[in-house]
Amino acid sequence: MSPLALLLVLGAAVAHAGWNVLAHGVSRLGAPFLLWAAIAATLIWLPVVPFTGGIGAADLGSFALGIGVSGVLHIAYMLVLQGGYARADLSTVYATARGSGPVLSVIGAILLFAELPSGTALLGIAIVILGVVAVGFIGRRPGAKGLGAGVIWGVLTGVGIATYTIWDSFSVREWGIQPVAMMVGTTAVEVVLYLAISWRRRASFAPILRDHWPRILAFGALSPLSYILVLTAVQIAPVSLVAPMREVSVVLVSLWGGFVLAEGRPWARVAAAVIVASGVLLVALGG
């Protein structure tokens, strides 16, 4: 992997971890919060589109198809993730999703884009995924029940991650859609869908905006930034390498939780981070 691609993916991981930390504690607000976040993301990044190549080389039909499908896939992923959290242990779902998503993305990239990472890179990918899964199980609650439902929902979420990753990568690589325009278009589609999903809770719209606008703005700025960097990276590096590397964000959030929020077992989290870092090094050397 080129130094620029590596820098883009690691920057994406930092941005992704940043908005997760800032948005910590508001997941219970559900779709109404996500609606405001999508509105903020669209308004913040829309003025940037003309300065980053517009929609790119794609025709309007391809652009509309790209963002339309992407918006549906991103929301479907989020709904499946929330369904898993409601029915199974959070850490099991999270670890399985963040581990299986990159695996499926790598498989999809090999099949659809004819990418074949080197042996060193494949070993690094495996180590990164191992470290990410370890992070999830380090945070597992004492006395949590078996893995059955959690693994099933986690894998379903991983399918969602892989699906939107492959589709969005295809859109920017094959149709030439610019990453910023792709992200802005996707968040605009999400606004419409989240509005439909959360309309029955419209009485909460104003209070959520009033009470949580700093988090909404942070989410709106950093969440698209993290994915714009990823979409830029897949233009110059294989999807099979970029997809696993972006999961470094999971480790960063875990370290924050262990040392700042005192969520427990901080040094085990450091060990998992070292595993992931060694995998990242191998991917960088072998890619």
Please report, for the chain, the start and end positions of each structural domain, with discontinuous segments joined by +.
3-286
pLDDT at position 263 is 62
Q: Which residue has the tokens 């419409």?
A: 192
Q: Which residue has the tokens 């997809």?
A: 243
Give phi and psi for 118, each to the nearest 5. -65, 165
pLDDT at 145 over 60: no
pLDDT at position 148 is 61
Most confident of 3-12, 23-32, 101-110: 3-12
Cβ 134 vs Cβ 275: under 8 Å: yes
pLDDT at 181 over 90: yes
Question: Can you list the alpha helix ranges (DSSP code H) found in 46-200?
Answer: 60-87, 90-113, 119-138, 148-174, 179-198
pLDDT range class, residue 279, cuts 50, 70, 90: confident
Higher pLDDT, 114 or 260: 114
pLDDT at 139 over 70: no
pLDDT at 238 over 70: yes
pLDDT at 174 over 80: yes
The average pLDDT across 267-275 equals 80
* Of 49-63, 87-101, 137-151, minimum mean pLDDT range: 137-151
Buried b (16+ CB within 10 A) or exposed e, 221-230: bbbbbbbbbb
Higher pLDDT, 250 or 56: 56
* pTM of the complete model: 0.84
The average pLDDT across 203-215 equals 94
User: What residues are paired with 177 via a beta bridge?
Assistant: 56
Q: Which two structure tokens, joined as six digits, stand for 79?
A: 């709904």
Cβ 167 vs Cβ 108: under 8 Å: no
pLDDT range class, residue 202, cuts 50, 70, 90: very high
